[in-house]
Amino acid sequence: MSFSLLDIWNHMGFTAKTVNLIMLIMSIYSLSVMIERYITFFKAKKQSRSYAPKIARFLKDKKIKEAIQISKSEEVNNSHLAKVLLPALEEYQSQKDSGTRSHDDMMESAHRAIERATARNLADLRRGLAGLGTVGATAPFVGLFGTVAGIINAFRGMALTGSGGIGAVSAGIAEALIATAVGLGVAIPAVWAFNYLTSRVEGFTVEMDNSASELMDYMAKKALD
């Protein structure tokens, strides 16, 4: 038997082929999550870097409406900071325009708006990461299942033919071990990507918390003006 990938695939049993197809699907899924999340995080970081000094300048100049306008613009629609601060700014401005509530109540409403926006934004930032972690954790075991099934099939074939020796089972074992290799090849990049992307989400969380705190500090100082 030739040990080319095509020949090995043609000699695989149904179970081995099924396992390898499952891992191919897992690989495609994990790769799509990696690419999509990287692009999303890159846009969020880039847009937030340009958004932060603008919003700080507007708040310093007490231009809330202008701050709301820049937070709604297309150029920051992927910014994690804008997604968190915009609901608070809108809530604060709405309460201010109504003139029916105290400043403390306005700040409390803005704070609740920040909490809701932060929760939504974190859920969006983490989208796909659970699946990526699942692929990284389970792919080796799926590959191991394929290997065990392949080895069992190889020894069963040896028993049926009555032949013995390593030569009689070497091809079957080679086919079986491919499943483990593929499983590791799928899992390792997925685990690396999961850890990297999770650390990026944690960094975004810190930035959102800091920005929210600065906005609340601004609102508190405004009450003293």
The residue extents of the domains of the chain are: 5-222
Q: What is the pLDDT of residue 130?
A: 94
Q: What is the pLDDT of residue 222?
A: 63
Q: What is the pLDDT of residue 224?
A: 43
Q: What is the pLDDT of residue 194?
A: 96
Q: What is the pLDDT of residue 102?
A: 72
Q: What is the pLDDT of residue 191?
A: 96
Q: What is the pLDDT of residue 128?
A: 93
Which residue do the tokens 């082929």 mark? 17
Half-sphere exposure of 220 (CA within 13 A, CB side): 8
Which residue do the tokens 């079957």 mark? 172
Q: Is the dihedral of CA 126, 131, 137, 140 positive or negative?
A: negative
Q: What is the pLDDT of residue 167?
A: 57
Q: Is the dihedral of CA 72, 75, 77, 78 positive or negative?
A: negative
Q: What is the pLDDT of residue 170?
A: 67
Q: Helices 14-60 and 129-161, interaxial angle, to 10°? A: 170
Average pLDDT, consecutive stretches of 10 residues, N- to C-terminus, the chain (225 residues):
61 78 93 95 93 87 86 90 90 76 78 90 93 94 87 73 59 77 93 95 92 83 56
